[in-house]
Amino acid sequence: MKLLGVALAGALFYGAASGAQAATIRGLPFPAGATIDTEAGSPAVTANAHGVVAASVHIASHGRIVVWDASNRATVLQPPPGGQYDDPQTASTQEAVVAPDDTVYGNGAYPFSGAYSGVRMRLYAWRHGAPVAINGTACASGATDVHPTFAAPDGRLALAGSYESDVMNVDAIETGGMPPTASVLDGAVCRVLDFGWISALDGGFAAGHRGSINGKAMPPNVNSFQQKYVAVRWTGAHAQEIGPGVALAVNARGDCAGADAPPGIHGAFIVRRSGPEGTEQHEYKIGDMHALVWHGATMTRLSPAAPRSIAYAIDESGRTVAGTLFDDSGQHAVRWRDGKAQLLDSLLPREAGWQLLVAYAITPDGAIVGVGRHDGALAAFVLSAD
């Protein structure tokens, strides 16, 4: 593995006080040329209680995981050597998840071509800078890919098994085949919960969603106005469908947060099938989404007047939810307290130079982790505020 350590510009700290509110922000500049999805399907930035932060970005059209240690030194994780036919020049690292012990989980993505083409996904854990391959076969339950989505406070890892889109069988899809599988990796033991996309894990609960068309289970990346989504909360291995939408976060009380459709899929997904009568094409699209929170069986829509919003995180009390919200002036990182929205920009003076775009996580000590722009340049942030 080629591990590139990049000493970026020093972290950007700004402390401010305004009346009864006080905020301190830790800014972590991205490498030059990096871009990031501010409406990702799962948190594009994660952090742990030790101050380790990881982000999934794109640099020169390749996915890369950037990790900042507690001293704000950044490291860009390059793809480890793959299989015999994998091309490291086109490979990516992606889907960064930071565990409590500072391990960073992610995927190496290796494009291939030939009679079939697609992307091979390989699951890795970077421990002390060195990659360790993880055999996700037991977690995939027949799926071709395994995606790390969340690390619980006790170190367990949520894994979503899915099928690589370029090799999906359309006939199998339309008869209810090839749905995602939800799994939990605990040390060396992987436990498959059920079918469904798992997004978060805490205490005895996990959360995610299922999708279907005409009552048939669908892969996670086939989206249409006809597709129905239902949020799922697992208690142990028992799955409970808690209502329309997708759950992206859960706490140890079982409170969930999310949206009424999966974020992260932009534009349309097209599949084609050729037969005796010619080529048949299906085009699937998805509309705008709005933030939701579930307390028990009660679902509440957050900021219903906003044209678009997503809730990515919920704290242990269930009172604070964080995410992103769009209004006439653009995209904003937001936290909801007891259902009331507060734009995070309002906690900082204008002269601080920050435009906070999306909040992806809430750390155990209550800090909010996300992405913004500082003096116009993209950066991750960790915001501590009353």
Percentage of the chain with pLDDT > 90?
Answer: 58
pLDDT at 17: 42
CA distance 289 to 143: 28
CA distance 127 to 345: 35
Ranking 139-148, 270-279, 323-332 by mean pLDDT, the lowest is 270-279
- Where is mean pLDDT largest: 4-8, 267-271, 353-357? 353-357
Of residues 274 and 27, the one with the higher pLDDT is 27
pLDDT band of residue 225 (cuts 50, 70, 90) is: low
pLDDT at 120: 82
3-state secondary structure of 327: strand
pLDDT tens digits, residue range 170-199? 555 565 566 888 999 999 899 999 888 999
pLDDT at 320 exceeding the cut of 70? yes
As beta bridge partners, residue 18 has 21
pLDDT at 19: 43
pLDDT at 373 exceeding the cut of 70? yes
Are 90 and 73 in contact by the 8 Å Cβ rule? The answer is: no
Separation in Å, CA 4 to CA 80, 127, 203, 340: 12, 15, 35, 43
As beta bridge partners, residue 37 has none
Separation in Å, CA 38 to CA 57, 265, 376, 380: 10, 12, 15, 11
pLDDT at 335 exceeding the cut of 70? yes
pLDDT at 6 exceeding the cut of 60? no
Ranking 61-75, 138-152, 343-357 by mean pLDDT, the lowest is 138-152
Concatenated DSSP letters for 341-364?
A: EEEGGGGS-GGG-EEEEEEEEE-T
pLDDT at 228: 82
CA distance 99 to 329: 36
pLDDT tens digits, residue range 63-104? 999 999 999 999 999 888 867 666 667 899 999 999 999 999
Name the strands in the sheet holding 298-301, side by side, starting at the edge strand that comes first in the sequence.
Answer: 246-250, 256-259, 291-295, 298-301
- What's the distance, CA 225 to chain centroid? 22
Q: Identify which of 250, 373, 246 has the alpha carbon closest to the alpha carbon of residue 316.
A: 250
pLDDT at 288: 75
